[in-house]
Amino acid sequence: MTKFQSLRHLLTGLVLTAGAATAFGQSAAPAGAAAKPAAATAPAPAAATPLKTSAVVASKPGRVATPAPVALDWPTKPVRLLIGFPAGSVQDLSARAIAEPLSKALGQPVIIENKAGASGTIAADQVAKATDLHTFGVMNNSQLTIARLLNPMIAYDPAVDLAPIALIGTTPMVLVVSNFAQGNSPQEWLTWLRNQGDKANYGSPGAGTPGHLGMELIKSRSGGLGVMHVPYPGNPQLITAMLGGHLQAALLPPGLALQQVKAGKMKVIGVTSEQRSMLAPELPTMREVGIMGADMELFTALAGPASLPAAVREKLSAAVIDVLKTGETRARLITVGWQPAPSTAEGLRTRMRADTRNLGGIIMMRGIRADS
């Protein structure tokens, strides 16, 4: 196998919070009382009619996944969606936008659990090891494609241990510069940034994050952009540093970038998508400002363990796609900064391969590692 192959509020009225988990499709219990699922638990697997599917799948030496028997009436209990980032993160918001309608479509509660840490790989590894047929993850590009390239020591291999189920949405990154940038147009602000050479700094939420890889991609295609990388714990911290004049540029998600731009605190050069984004159609693309070949979009997608039987993958994929076709769900996604992009497992797999190839090339060319 080659190296590449190894390679907030909107929904608050809809959720019931208990610890780190949020359940959709349940009724809130009175104070002090336990919450009860909206649907009764299905009969025990022994009484159900099993599907014709392999019961044991080995994803790599030393790991054997043995899922429980599959019932024709799957799901038979609440469905868990693991999120590798904190509540309120863009990944978390995309999951909450689909959780309630997905619960209605499946006839079982959908429970969101935030398992933040290690750039999302802790949650992804738990999904890869799950054998209960009801544990899945809402994941981003890094978790599903380049995680092993960034950190060869992580416990799972995205290409081997995870099964794509459905693409949920996409969003471009927005290249912003400090208000100290001279000029009156995106092209002039880009020229100003280029003229700063390696005296200018850009921030990201950490090595190997989309804000880091995307800027390195732009640098490699810009012909002379020498801005240097400074990692921060998260986007809030780098925004504070940028407003204080300590950073000259950053790649931010649209929601965060536009908030600062509309407040007159930052200037925007453009978006990293191939075409103008429906989230901010007034913003030019990198191509329009003269940077070719720097197209990059974030995605949010549903994935499960590679051991998952085909019947379960197909049923869940179809349910997610149907949910994403409704006007209400699409509006929720757009409100929290995602362009709805329903796609089958095969469509998601194609996107994963393309990201592994494109972002993997930047990682290798720049020698980027998660701890660099």
Q: Are residues 15 and 100 in the same domain?
A: yes
Judging by DSSP bridges, how do beta strands 339-343 and 162-172 pair with one another? antiparallel
Q: How many whole angstroms separate alpha carbon 118 and alpha carbon 137?
A: 15
Q: Are residues 202 and 341 in the same domain?
A: no
Residue-level pLDDT at 69:
52
For 184-215, the pLDDT digits (tens) are 999 999 999 999 999 999 999 888 888 999 99
Residue 179 lies inside a defined structural domain of this protein: yes
Element spanning 296, H or E:
none
For 325-354, the pLDDT digits (tens) are 999 999 999 998 899 999 999 999 999 998
pLDDT band per the 50, 70, 90 thresholds, residue 119: confident
Instruction: Tell me the whole-structure pTM to 2 decimals.
Output: 0.76
Residue-level pLDDT at 50:
40
Residue 40 lies inside a defined structural domain of this protein: no
Residue 75 lies inside a defined structural domain of this protein: yes
* Upper half-sphere CA count for residue 153 (Cβ side, 13 Å): 4
Residue 42 lies inside a defined structural domain of this protein: no
Range of the domain at 259: 174-295
> What is the rounded average pLDDT of the residues 71-83?
89
**What CATH number is associated with residue 217?**
3.40.190.10
Residue-wise DSSP of 151-206: -TTSS--HHHHEEEEEEEEEEE-EEEEETT--SSSHHHHHHHHHHTGGG-EEEESS
Residue 170 has pLDDT above 60, yes or no: yes
Given 269, 295, 321, which residue is the final one in a domain?
Answer: 295
Residue-level pLDDT at 13:
38
- Residue 186: asked if its preceding bond is cis (omega within 30°), the reply is no
> What is the rounded average pLDDT of the residues 30-44?
39
| Contact call for residues 215 and 202 (beta carbons, < 8 A) | yes
Residue 39 lies inside a defined structural domain of this protein: no
Q: Are residues 7 and 111 in the same domain?
A: yes
**What CATH number is associated with residue 349?**
3.40.190.150
φ, ψ for residue 299 (rounded to 5)? -135, 160
Residue 268 lies inside a defined structural domain of this protein: yes
Q: Are residues 166 and 96 in the same domain?
A: yes
Given 295, 315, 344, which residue is the final one in a domain?
Answer: 295
Q: Are residues 303 and 283 in the same domain?
A: no
Q: How many whole angstroms separate alpha carbon 277 and alpha carbon 176?
A: 16
CA nearest 202: which of 194, 270, 184? 194
Residue 34 lies inside a defined structural domain of this protein: no
> What is the rounded average pLDDT of the residues 146-159?
92
Q: Are residues 180 and 232 in the same domain?
A: yes
Classify each residue of 332-367 as buried b or exposed e, where b means 16 or more C-beta atoms within 10 Å of its C-beta: bbbebbbbbbbbbbebbbebbeebbebbbebbeebe
For 223-280, the pLDDT digits (tens) are 889 999 999 888 889 999 999 999 999 999 888 899 899 999 999 999 999 999 999 9
Q: Are residues 15 and 80 in the same domain?
A: yes
Q: Are residues 132 and 222 in the same domain?
A: no
Q: Are residues 178 and 289 in the same domain?
A: yes
Number of domains in the chain: 2
**Alpha helix segments (H runs only) across 210-289:** 210-222, 235-243, 254-262
Q: Are residues 230 and 124 in the same domain?
A: no
Given 264, 295, 326, which residue is the final one in a domain?
Answer: 295
Q: Are residues 239 and 323 in the same domain?
A: no
Residue 30 lies inside a defined structural domain of this protein: no
Percent of the chain with pLDDT over 70: 81
Q: How far is CA 38 from CA 12, 106, 208, 277, in A?
A: 19, 11, 41, 38
Residue 147 neighbours by CB distance under 10 Å: 27
Report the mean per-residue pLDDT for the chain.
83
Q: Are residues 256 and 161 in the same domain?
A: no
